[in-house]
Chains A and B, each alone.
Chain A
Amino acid sequence: MNKVITINLNGIAYQLEESGYDALREYLDTAAHRLAGNPDRDEIIGDIEQAIGDKFRALLGAHKTVVVTKEVLAVIEEMGPVENAAEEEQPAGAAAGATTGAAAGSAGPGARTEAGGAAKAADGAGAPPPVRRLYCIREGAMIAGVCNGIGAYFGIDPTFVRIGFVVLTFFWGAGILVYLLMAFLVPTASTPAEKAAATGVAATAQEFINRAKAGYYEGMKHWHDKAAYREWKRRYKQEMRGWKRNFQQSMHEGARSMHENAQQWQQNWQAQWGAHPRPFVGPAVWPLLGILRLALAICMIFAVVSLVGYGHILGFAMPSGIPLWVGVVFVFIFFNVLSWPLRALKWSWYCQGPPYYGMHPRAIGLVDSVLWLVFVVAMIWVADHYSPHFHEWLRMVPGWVHDFLEKVRAWWQTV
């Protein structure tokens, strides 16, 4: 009489004699060990488990429910040793993986949850999430999906990106310019694979299945230890649920929920500002606000130019080791923080003030932006006419823009 152990191969339970179970476990552990560092490790293990399961099923029937040790050994023999096909290409990675695998393997029962965590990390490498790329996402887009795409790329709410663009627009209409450029340059995600790449979420059910399999393999390893197995099962289910929720939300309802988020945010914003007492500034103060903003903007441009050109702002050098663009972004953020109260004052007036000259307050905002744009263009025209230096400089701008576009294109092709 022999003890029987029930195992789970790819979602189907099989009963094995105890020593057969030990042999199979050793075979699979060795396979996992040899494949350490292989990005498809979990998938290969899943395939092998499925093949083993198929062979077991062929052996069993209505009157034979247990796979005996001899049969398990025969199946293992038939499967053959698992060879790492990628071994020759990446010995370094394989070696590193092998050591971490050994470390996880040698950890005692107390460290089971950590081992699970390590396996999960390996799982991340095993079923690699699609590489994230910048795309325009049409679903739930306001215009061309540029902000949607940027939001998905950086994993932030597209509403904030839109706000960023709107803010940039007040800054000499740069938002509109950047938006148009990106709408032309950045491709639109149309195939499911591209959409997956745009959000970094696996789009296919296959990835889902892979995850499930990887998890089951982890569970099988704990099968002999009931407490550890229960703990694993609880965590596994939780994770799968969470993942499934993410999956559904981002793929099926993602666009809509983003849109709802945006509306919610907008409402909150209006409610918050509507509750405030009316600000003391009237339209008469607008030019003052505008001048203040212009002064700030000039300071910012000066800061950026001095940072890019001389590597320091008013003698404050960049700490070494921090790339230049971080500094530039920091200056932009600093400018936006400084000028935020001015913009907030203006917007609060637009949004809750009485209709002004019979115009909708939002329309005033638009007119204001257009006026700014006209003002800037007029200033450029005047400068172009009366300053030969500026004229020379202006003539070089198209070349720069061309260079910049070429660089962006080259960058896009390397990403």
Chain B
Amino acid sequence: MSVNEKFHPIRKGLLEFLVLKIIAANPVYVADILKELNGTEFATQEGTLYPLLSKMRREELVDYEWKESEAGPPRKYYELTAKGKERLREASEYWQKISGTVKNLGQK
């Protein structure tokens, strides 16, 4: 089992946090999110991202509006809601704690 496979659950759990972070920086299309995640350890696919975004929208973390695209039908343009921003803040704080713990454990 490669490291990549082994850490799949961790990446899966962190995906929502990262998506929040990406959307917080800039309102984006799904293609933009994929592009940003591609080339990182968190590279993902539409098949995963769309259900995740719909879940996040149901939890009122993100919202979208339809925007015309230069070619083809209008696309969804995702933004964070106030609740999403709050969740991102919490998650960032928690992440700081976790990474601090990971760094400090075992060091005397």
Contact = CB atoms under 8 A, between A and B. Distances in A.
A47 B76 contact: yes
A209 B75 CA distance: 12
Contact of A57 (B54, B57, B66, B71): B71
Given A40-B54, A82-B51, A86-B51, A48 B46 contact: yes
Interface in B31-72: 31, 44-48, 50-55, 57-58, 66, 71-72
B55 A82 contact: no
Contact of A44 (B50, B71, B73): B50
A214 interface: no
A34 B58 CA distance: 18
Q: Which of B31, B51, B71 has the most CB of A within 10 A?
A: B51
B30 interface: yes
Interface string A40-51: 100110011011
Contact of B54 (A51, A81, A85, A209): A85
A260 B71 CA distance: 45
A51 B51 contact: no
Interface residues of B, number: 21
A53 B75 CA distance: 12
B73 A38 contact: no
B67 to A, nearest CB: 12
Given A44-B51, A84-B51, A12 B73 contact: yes
Given A57-B71, A79-B45, A206-B66, A48 B50 contact: yes
Given A10-B73, A57-B71, A44 B45 contact: no
Nearest to A52: B46
B54 A43 contact: yes
B50 A47 contact: yes
B47 A82 contact: yes
- Chain A interface: which size bin? 20 to 34
Contact of B55 (A51, A53, A85): A85
Residue with the greatest number of chain B CB neighbours at <10 A, chosen from A12, A50, A84, A209: A50
Contacts of B53: 47
Interface string A337-359: 00000000000000000000000
A225 interface: no
A80 B30 CA distance: 14
Contacts of B66: 205-206, 209
A392 interface: no
A53 B50 contact: no
B18 to A, nearest CB: 14
5 nearest A-B residue pairs (beta carbon) = A80-B45, A80-B47, A40-B54, A85-B51, A85-B55
25 contacts: A10-B73, A31-B47, A40-B57, A40-B58, A43-B54, A44-B54, A47-B46, A48-B46, A51-B30, A51-B31, A53-B72, A57-B71, A57-B72, A79-B47, A80-B45, A80-B46, A80-B48, A81-B45, A82-B47, A82-B48, A83-B47, A83-B48, A85-B48, A86-B58, A209-B66
Given A10-B73, A47-B76, A83-B48, 6 more contacts: A11-B73, A48-B46, A81-B48, A82-B50, A85-B54, A209-B66
